[in-house]
Structures are given as structure tokens and as C-alpha cells.
Amino acid sequence: MKKALISVIVPITNVKTCLSKCLKSITNQAYKNLEIIIIDNIKEKPLIEIYKQFASTDKRIKIIKTKSKNINNLALSHATGDFIHFIASCDYISPFYYEKMLTFATENKSDIAISGFKTPHTKLCYTKNQIAHSIKEKVSTTKINKYDYIFRYFINRNFLITNNIKFHTNSMQDMVFLMQTIFYANNITTVPTVTYFTNLPLKE
């Protein structure tokens, strides 16, 4: 049986102190069938040196350099995986993150799987698997009204294509994108025991 391919999209931000830890957490995942898409519209030399070093030893890494500001849609157009996940270049994930996300998404036939997260100041953890079907259940389960963070979402790529879901070029592009995915998803499954660690300045 063919293993599902996961497209991991890493938009580069100007935080070179975290990039190595981020890429190491991806390349060292227990689940190996990944395509790692690094998309860079900053082009800072220290950052380029870091991700090029990783790419030289890991053939799963693709590098896209662009002047476009709409990097999320550009990354999606290059993705070929069965599932999509965005990870900020200053963040990292637990070692079995993709293995668990894929397992729960496929076993529950979910368009979206969602994880908890931790910041230096707060956390959201799921202690059990829940499956949300109705709009009300999906909004409540994802807590989209409080935590509109794209990095929590592990999304079936064919689902995005079928429903023509893309990012809009405005200041709330993540929220608009996520609201569309939540509305159209057949169901959303929560994934316990895995964590996304973020250093981004999130609202508490």
C-alpha cells in the first residue's frame, strides 16, 4: 500500500536563531514520506545558508525563492502531497507529529486533523480524540474564534482543490482560509498526544 505523502510548507521569516531547530524537527520526524517546501521571499544570507545546508543532505527539501508576497498560495501550487501542513520557521513539532496527524485523519476519514500547541506562556492540549461534524461542533472544537492559527491544521490537499480554497490577499488571510476549510470539511478530528511548539507572539 502506497504511503501518503505529506507536504510540509515552511515560509521563511527573519528569525535565524530558530530555523535550524525547526528544520531538524521536520527532517527527524518518525514519519518519513514528506516533501518539505521552503519558500523564501526574504532572501537573507544567514537564513539561506541554514536551509541550503539542510537541503544538501536531505533530498526531500525543495527551495522556492520568490518576490511574491502571496507565498502561501504559491507554496500550495507547488505541493504534491496528499496532506498539507504549514509550519512557521521559528517553530518546531514533536517527533511523532506527522505520524499521529496522518493516522487520525485517515482512520476518521477527516478532511482536517487539528493539534494542540504550546507557547512560552500558554497552551492548548487535546486529551482525547474528538470528531466534529456540524458547523457548531467544528467551531467549538477548533476554537477558531480564539486561536486562528494555520499551523494547527493538517489538511487534505484534494479537499482544498475540490472546494477551490485559497488564501486571500488581505490582513486576515489565515482566518478567511480557515473559516472556509472549517465550513466545507466533512469532519474535523482532534489529535491528542502531539504538540506544535510556537515562538510566535500569539494573542493570549
Number of domains in the chain: 1
- In 3D space, the residue among 127, 145, 128, 126 whose CA is nearest the CA of residue 136 turns out to be 145
Alpha helices (runs of H) in the chain, residue ranges in sequence order: 16-27, 45-57, 71-78, 97-107, 135-142, 157-162, 173-184
Q: In this structure, what CATH number is given to the domain that contains residue 90? A: 3.90.550.10
d(CA 102, CA 3): 10
Q: Using one digit for the tens of pLDDT, what is the confidence trace for 32-64?
A: 999 999 999 888 888 999 999 999 999 999 999
Report yes or no on 203 lying in a domain: no
Report yes or no on 77 lying in a domain: yes
Q: Are 53 and 79 in contact (CB under 8 A)?
A: no
Amino acid (1-letter code) at residue 4? A
Amino acid 91: pLDDT: 93
Which residue bears the cell 492559527?
Answer: 149
Amino acid 204: pLDDT: 46
Spans of the chain, pLDDT less than 70: 1, 16, 171, 200-204
- Domain, as residue range, for 73: 6-197
Report yes or no on 150 lying in a domain: yes
Report yes or no on 83 lying in a domain: yes
